[in-house]
Structure 1
Amino acid sequence: MTTAPNAAFVRRWSPAPGIVFLGPVEGSGLKDRSYLLQRGDGQIVQLSALLYLVVVSISAEKSLEDTARDISDAYGRELGVTGLLHLIDRRLAPMGLVRNAEADAADAPTPPKADPLLALRLRGTLVPDNAVNALARILAPLYWGPVVVAVLLVLAAVDVLVIARSDFMASLEQILLTPALLLGIFALLTVAAVVHELGHATACRYGGARPGVIGVGVYLVFPAFFTNVTDSYRLGRAGRIRTDLGGLYFNCLCLIGLGGAYLLTGQGFFLLAAGLMHFQMIQQLVPTLRFDGYFVLADIAGVPDLFNRIRPVLLSLIPGRPIDPRVSELRPFARRIVTAWVVTVVPLLVLALGWMLLNLPMIIEQTATAIRQHAGLAGDAIAAGDPTAASLSMLSILMLSLPVIGLAILLYRLLSVVISLLRRLGKRAWSTTAEQAGVPRHLRAGTPQTGKPLQKGRSAMAIAVPPAAMPDDDVPQAPLRAPAHFQAPAYFPAPATIPDDVPTLQDFLADRPTQPAPLAEAGWQGAVRRLSRNSLSLGPGRRELAHLDAVEEVQRRLDGPRTVVVVNPKGGAHKTTATLLLAATLGIQRGGYTLAWDNNETRGTMGWRAPLAGHAGTAVDLMQEVDRFEDPVLGRIGDLDRFVRYQGSAQFDVLASDEDAAGAATIGSREFDRLHTALRRFYRIIMVDTGNNMRSSNWEAAVAAADELVIVSTVREDTVASAVWLVDGLRERGYEDKVRNAVTLLAAPSLKTDLQLHDRTRTHFESLTREVLDVPYDKSLVSGGPLNYQALLPATREAWLRASAAVMRGL
């Protein structure tokens, strides 16, 4: 007799429609790596590495068992079906990120969206995305460094001249004598606000992201323009900050025009408009509300949800209370910025709100009196046939009414938040009372009767980030592949058969304290730490953190041996150098078990670039005794020392090709396969340097056996053309998947590089391969003599570390 499987275990899940995987957060202020994706409704969601991998891995074509196995292999920790279902049901499904493939889409609950207290509402499109991108593409050169410097210098000169020659009182008198000019200033500032938003879009485009629409919405009750820069989330910190400041930069261009117009005409109209624009720019930099200054500060800290951190920070500042997890998960630098922002902004907002509440009766009374006066003036103007005066009076009534209406809406929303908080506290108090009274857990309201949820350790994170605007359907989407970097979780859910009240090993391990943050070793932070004898325990800076992340990616666990094949059919393309440097970097960082293999059908040069290690053994010599290394009993790694050349402190071995000038032996496909099968028993990573003949059988065998390809080329026209021809040939032979997962390395042939050729090459290979990286010119590699890793410049070693990390991401 068989038991029917649980229905939850046979369900088929898939990512929700419209999901766009934006990749890892660059410049994040969180200690753990996090990832971004965009829902079909435009909501940006920030996920932990584990949850992101679950969304990437699930498919309606795969069973939950297969999905859990794939996630375990990629994540490096065992995840069962029970734990996978817990993450799907409790974390991802409520966020609208996955759906049951067999369920009706109409029955799916509406996923939550970020609903901040101070948010832009009632949004509509003003300029469509196609027009925005066309304008941004034309204006993008304005963000070139020399142009930015020139604009700022010109603005400073114009401001000095305007201040020296201005007469503000005369200008104000001119406006008072001609009230219609007020409407002109209002219209001019409105146009400048649209230009401000175009500056954000242009900066987004210049950084490599795609802006969307420029629109208009309501902020509280005030009309406000906005720009769709949702795609800028995929940029690094510098690109996001440039996008944040892009509007103010375009305001600078407007100020140059207004100042120049005033200097040429002497009209006070332009002077007052420029003065008001300066005031608006200063207002935009204030980080208390969601203006440009708020987003600049958020991107500097790497924390996109500053307002959501207010409560955790305030609770963590109370003496005797433990630090809230949403505070402890921040890097030290980000934590200091967020804490300083909270302790500054909260008192200011409380004081401002208190002042408004105390003066609310007087504000309402004076506003009502002023509205009655302007209403009377408007009626008189209409009766006298003066549309300009009537329009000014109506505009005044509108501007007087908006602050009061906005304050009423703000108070209503604050009251709703307070009521919701009181209800939550009441439920929590009732739950605590019930527990003390001995009420069984399964009889309490809202408590599920399923297995124990994840309660201890770091929980999987799902943070809703307010979108800048709606998404673009034309944004190119990267193919679904496993994220590049994961960190093991602090726990996994226990099997459903274990009772709730019995602690398990996972519970014990989940209580372990988090590892201490690393101390700075480089940069000014490391110098200060050493000079202070560790009295000031500073954390690593941005560059050192990037270095540590690359090292961690290089050291990630593999579940079996891997073969990486370096290809380019042209001689002098940097293949041998790339193979040796990648093997050296992997050997040093991973502690050995790495082989660099010169797979030339006749003779290669790798043996000349590596020390002889006391013998001249080659692949041909190893082939003669390959039988013993294929045998699981007779084969020993120590016996390989007669054929491979150990590279000392670089901790990798070299297997050279035939070096006998009179020899006739060659390595074909059959010989390669036998050697490859034997060597996989002794090495975790095999780096294969191929020859220059794409038609040779051993070249074909190496590409067929490759887990990943590395396409190498110097930035020269003939070498690049050879690499392009190679990719075309690989795709025609059915290796399109391997090309898509390949890494392209562009090596500088000299101190001066053809920038135009470099940009063309990079653009071409970015559309074909997974990653394209640059490696710098280093004079220690020019001679072609034996490789000395320690003689490389620090920048060269760092570049090859990043290249090695990119290779490991493909494995």
Structure 2
Amino acid sequence: MASDRNDNPADDADNGVLEGPVGAETTGIGIVGGATAQVDVTLPAHADDDDDLVDDDVVGGDIVGGDATLGASRAYTAEPASALPAAPAPDAASAIAVPDADHAERVRPRTSEITLQSRRLGDFDADRESSDLLTPDRLLDPAHVVRPEPEGTWQNLVYRLSGRRINLGDGRRAQARKALDRRIAAPLAGGARFVPVLSRKGGVGKTTVTTLLGMALADAREDRIIAVDANPDRGTLAERIGRPSGKTVRDLIRARDDVHGFNDISQIVARDHTRLDVLASEADPHISEAFSDADYEDVAEIAAHFYSVVLTDTGTGIVHSVMSATLERADTLVIVAGLSVDEARLASETLTWLETNGYADRVRSAVVVLNAARPGAALVRAEELEAHFRSRVRAVVRMPYDPHIAAGSAIAFRDLQPETREAARQLAATVVEGLRTQAAA
């Protein structure tokens, strides 16, 4: 039998059902037939449409994203009419009505996996936990945690129009960003991990890559990250951050017997705004003694006690004694290659040297960074370089040219171009995944 509402179109207005799609400024949400709450929500016509605020516009009350106007409807099941309080019929302005809070809670997806953040335990015993491990993610039941405000233009619009009761979740870009954050912040069990950054040729961006990798790790992780300038002569790692401490590796080596807590080492390292700690190399031209393998061992022993990840900005001399000490402690390697024929060959020859000198397993788990240190199109075909190195190492990451880096001054992570930040974060996630895979093997 046909319903009365279908037989009498005039009843539609009385039941709070609009005649057709409406714009964002007149979006209607009403109770239909006492059993279903219909919400007119515009959705992307294609999965690839952008949903971020910077790329989308609201035109004439319709949300326009990518190359198509969003148009669709989504219905939510509500309580029967008998369970809801009586409400007067809406007037011509069609005031917005929303499902109750219990309904909004029912449509939220349940989170079955709780991710724990990794923190350094400091001086605690291996079988004891510190208070830092009592995190909300670990202790709170996800079923009772209120979901945060969604990110994304139309998701946020629905959230606000519904009086903050309908939470459709984040947009595509926000989901991708948060997923990358989780990859970078994945816990690392066990002791400190050592990650040297190598290059046999100067000027290809080895120090820059060390800085970007350290900033991306420190910005997303909860534990401590340090980058050590192990250049045997004079390195420039400390000049790439805006808060130098004036202290160097020599100061830490002299004070190693007096370092009893993190406060002692924090007086020597420099800290970036992302919370990356940097230990500078000696810059005094009157110092005649180069940084040696014994010096590196002293620094590494202290760093391993207070930090979870220790990055090492190495020099170009691969046969120097400090390089041997660095490679012995390495858990995974990052090799930097420039976008020219000679720079690419030197990087490939570095892999060969490592393979023939007992580090073949490190080569297989290494990451190669193809760094564009100069503006404009590269003279070599980057895809051919990538194919070559992928045949030898675990992963290849491309680092684009960035004028903020090319200036040669301190690097502010937030001031980098979005493509550069994304590449640095991809590198950080790739390194962490390699460390976790190695630990599980």
**TMscore range, shorter length:** 0.5 to 0.7
* SS of 2:369 mapped into structure 1: strand
Equivalent-residue separation in structure 1 for 2:288 and 2:142 (angstroms): 62
* Candidates 355, 366, 372, aligned match of 1:748: 372
Alpha carbons 1:609, 1:787 under 8 Å: kept: yes
Q: 2:241 aligns with which of 598, 610, 614?
A: 610
Q: Quick check: 1:519–1:538 contact (8 Å CA) kept in 2? A: no
Q: 1:787 aligns with which of 394, 411, 418?
A: 411
Q: Which amino acid aligns with 1:643?
A: I
Q: Tell whether 2:178 aligns with 1:548.
A: yes
Choose the corresponding residue for 1:661, options 285, 306, 329: 285
C-alpha distance in 2 between matches for 1:684 and 1:706: 13
TM-score w.r.t. length of structure 1: 0.36
How far off its partner does 1:637 sit?
Answer: 1.3
Cα distance, 1:532–1:762 mapped onto 2, change above 3 Å: farther
Q: Which residue pairs with 1:639 in the alignment? A: 264
Tell me what 1:577 maps to.
208
The aligned counterpart of 1:520 is: 150
Contact 2:205 2:373 in 1 (8 A): no
Write the mapping of 1:300-319 to structure 2, written as runs, cut at 5 A: none
Structure 1 counterpart of 2:348, which letter? V
Give the Cα–Cα distance (whole angstroms) in 1 for the partners of residues 292 and 383 of structure 2: 38
Letter in 2 for 1:541: G
Pairwise CA distance, 1:514: 7.8
SS of 1:774's partner is strand
Q: In structure 1, the residue corresponding to 2:311 is in which secondary structure?
A: strand
For 1:554, give the aligned amino acid: I
Select 2:359's aligned residue among 735, 738, 747: 735
Partner residue in 2 for 1:722: 346
TM-aligned CA deviation for residue 638 of structure 1: 1.0
Counterparts of 1:39-78 in structure 2 under 5 Å? none
State the Cα deviation string for residues 443-491 of structure 1 (Å, max 9, x = none): xxxxxxxxxxxxxx969xxxxxxxxxxxxxxxxxxxxxxxxxx968xxx
1:566 aligns with 2:221: no
* Structure 2 CA distance for partners of 1:510 and 1:582, relative to 1, 3 Å: closer
**CA contact 1:575–1:689 (8 Å) conserved in 2:** yes
Give the Cα separation in 2 of the matches to 1:566 and 1:524. 43
In the alignment, is the contact (CA less than 8 A) between 1:620 and 1:666 conserved in 2? no
Does the 8 A contact of 2:242 with 2:412 survive in 1? no
Contact 2:339–2:380, Cα closer than 8 Å, also in 1? no
- Deviation string 1:699-720 (CA, Å, 9 cap, x unpaired) is 1211221111111223222221
**Counterparts in 2 of 1:711 and 1:524: CA distance versus 1, 3 Å:** farther
Match of 1:767 among 391, 401, 422: 391
1:782–1:539: structure 2 CA closer, same or farther, 3 Å change rule?
same
AA in 2 matched with 1:582: L
Matched, 1:587 2:218: yes
Q: Structure 2: how far apart are the matches of 1:720 and 1:638? A: 42
Q: Is 1:806 the counterpart of 2:430 in the alignment?
A: yes
In 2, the alpha carbon distance for the partners of 1:600 and 1:697 equals: 11
Q: Deviations over 1:596-619 (max 9, x none)?
A: 111101111112222354x42111
Opposite residue 636 of structure 1, the aligned amino acid is G
How far apart are the structure 2 equivalents of 1:531 and 1:749?
Answer: 47
Structure 2: which 5+ runs fail to align? Answer: 1-46, 49-75, 81-106, 117-138, 436-441
Deviation per CA, 1:363-415: give whole Å up to 9, x if none. Answer: xxxxxxxxxxxxxxxxxxxxxxxxxxxxxxxxxxxxxxxxxxxxxxxxxxxxx
Runs of at least 5 residues in structure 1 that lack an aligned partner in the other structure: 1-236, 239-315, 321-330, 336-456, 460-485, 489-508, 630-634
Given that residues 597 and 654 in structure 1 are in contact (C-alpha distance below 8 angstroms), is that contact kept between their aligned partners in structure 2? yes
Pairing 1:626–2:256 present: yes
Q: What is the letter of the counterpart of residue 553 of structure 1?
A: R
Equivalent residue, structure 1, for 2:28: none
| Letter of the structure 1 residue corresponding to residue 330 of structure 2 | A
- CA spacing shift, 1:768–1:515, aligned 2, 3 Å: farther
Distance 1:534 1:619, change over 3 A: same
**Which residue number corresponds to residue 7 of structure 1?**
none
Cα shift readout 1:157-179 (whole Å, capped 9, x = no counterpart) = xxxxxxxxxxxxxxxxxxxxxxx
Summarize the Cα distance change of 1:536–1:724 in structure 2 as closer, same or farther, 3 Å threshold.
Answer: same
Question: Which residue matches 2:167?
Answer: 537
How many correspondences in the alignment? Answer: 312
Using the TM superposition, give the Cα deviation of residue 319 of structure 1 relative to its aligned residue in structure 2, in angstroms: 8.4
SS in structure 1 of the partner of residue 290 of structure 2: coil
Amino acid at match of 2:297: D
Which whole-Å CA distance do the structure 2 matches of 1:668 and 1:738 have between them? 22
Match of 1:601 in 2: 232
How far, CA to CA, are the matches of 2:381 and 2:359 in structure 1? 26
SS across alignment from 2:381:
helix
What is the rounded CA distance, in whole Å, between the counterparts of 2:239 and 2:269 in structure 1?
13
Q: What is the DSSP-based 3-state SS (H/G/I as helix, E as strand, rest coil) of the residue aligned with 2:306?
A: coil
Measure, in 2, the Cα distance between the counterparts of 1:749 and 1:565. Answer: 20
Tell me the amino acid that sits aligned with residue 434 of structure 2: G
Identity of matched residues, %: 31
User: Aligned equivalents of 1:700 and 1:531: distance in 2?
Assistant: 62
Question: Relative to 1, partners in 2 of residues 1:517 and 1:741: Cα closer, same or farther, differing over 3 Å?
Answer: farther
> How far, CA to CA, are the matches of 1:772 and 1:575 in structure 2?
15
1:435-454 correspondence runs (5 A): none
How many Å separate the matches in 1 of 2:161 and 2:399? 34
Higher RCO, Cα 8 Å, sep 6+: 2
- Amino acid of the structure 2 residue aligned with 1:663: I
1:373 corresponds to which residue? none
Give the C-alpha shift of residue 640 in structure 1.
Answer: 1.5
**TM-score of the aligned structures, taking structure 2 as reference length:** 0.64
> How do 1:648-727 residues align onto structure 2 when only pairs under 5 Å count?
649-727=273-351
What is the alpha-carbon distance in structure 2 between the residues aligned to residue 599 and residue 573 of structure 1? 17
Give, as a single letter, the amino acid of the residue that structure 2 aligns with 1:558.
L
Taking structure 1 as reference, are residues 793 and 458 closer, same or farther at Cα in structure 2, changes over 3 Å only?
A: closer
Rounded Cα–Cα distance in structure 1 between residues aligned with 2:427 and 2:346: 21
Greater helix share, structure number: 1
SS for the counterpart of 1:720 is: helix
Residues of 2 paired with 1:798 and 1:684: CA distance?
A: 23
Amino acid at match of 2:342: D
Query: Which of structures 1 and 2 has the bigger CA Rg?
Result: 1
1:747 Cα deviation after fit: 2.0
Q: 1:526 to 1:667 in 2, by over 3 A?
A: farther
Q: 1:542 to 1:627 in 2, by over 3 A?
A: same
How has the CA–CA distance of structure 1 residues 535 and 756 changed in structure 2, closer, same or farther, with 3 Å as cutoff? farther
SS at match of 1:702: helix
For 1:605 and 1:561, how far apart are their aligned partners in 2?
24
Give the AA of the match of 2:175. Answer: L
Contact 2:204 2:373 in 1 (8 A): no
